[in-house]
Homo-oligomer: A and B are copies of this chain.
Amino acid sequence: MPGIRERQTSGVGLSAASAPRRRKRGELSREQIIEAALAFIDRHGVGELSMRRLAAELDAGTMTIYGYFRDKDELLDAVVDAISRQAPLPKLSGTWREQLRQLVMRWNANLNHHPGIVRLRLERPILSPGALRITENGLRILEDAGFTPAEAAQAFRTIFLYNFGSAVFNPPDRVPEAQQAVRVAAAALPPDHYPRVLGAVDEMAEVMDPAMQFERGLDLILDGLERRLEAKRR
């Protein structure tokens, strides 16, 4: 396991107050801890975060964090919520299709801005007010376009799952490795039984790059919605 070998010698201490050696009281807050956790994750990756290391980063005793969060899960929930809240809603304009496209593209870019963080919250549904702002706008666009609330909820959930699936399985870093893995896997295949895979190795590799894939897949889903609207009108 490679990574940080900087023993908790010095203690980095964010942009916090100038506490002399050991902080006294009220020096910390949930916000400060969340901010430190986000900074740590962006710097070292999500797998390296531990309560002990985070506390050391804050120049505090490990158990101090437990005064602000019940356990590590609660802390991670708060971190993910903070990210959703950070996402600015784009100004939406144009047809329903253009508006939905803008909303989802921005959402996806925001998820990819913190690689790996979405893997923290696979277990429980993501339903913080910050995340639901995006849902609210998605439902509005779809209902205004002519879909019923039930159809809108179903379509938005499909887009949600595609979006989060992309963020989880298509991390924006390490694209070359993923593309190389496709070529290696193809080369190891018994040639007779995989003609289409072997005939489309380059295309499969290209599509491992989220910059190439996400928008095009979204357009496919939007085409499906378009078709349904046309069927409604007819």
Contact = CB atoms under 8 A, between A and B. Distances in A.
Given A168-B122, A196-B139, A221-B224, A206 B153 contact: yes
B157 A213 contact: yes
Contacts of A185: 127-129, 132
Q: Is the interface of A mostly helix, strand, loop or mixed?
A: helix
B228 A140 contact: no
B166 A213 contact: no
Say which size band chain A's interface belongs to: 35 or more
Contacts of A124: 178, 181
Interface in A121-176: 122, 124-125, 127-129, 132-133, 135-136, 139-140, 143, 149-150, 152-155, 157-158, 160-166, 168-170
Contacts of A129: 185, 188-190
A104 B60 CA distance: 51
A17 to B, nearest CB: 32
**Which 9 pairs of residues, A with B, have the shortest CB-CB distance?**
A165-B165, A224-B224, A158-B217, A127-B185, A223-B224, A139-B196, A153-B203, A161-B165, A149-B200
A148 to B, nearest CB: 9
A185 to B, nearest CB: 4
Interface of A: 119, 122, 124-125, 127-129, 132-133, 135-136, 139-140, 143, 149-150, 152-155, 157-158, 160-166, 168-170, 178, 181-182, 185, 188-190, 193-197, 199-200, 203-204, 206-208, 213, 216-217, 219-228
Given A150-B200, A224-B227, A166 B161 contact: yes
A194 B136 contact: yes
Contacts of A127: 181-182, 185
Contact of A166 (B119, B165, B196): B165
B162 A162 contact: yes
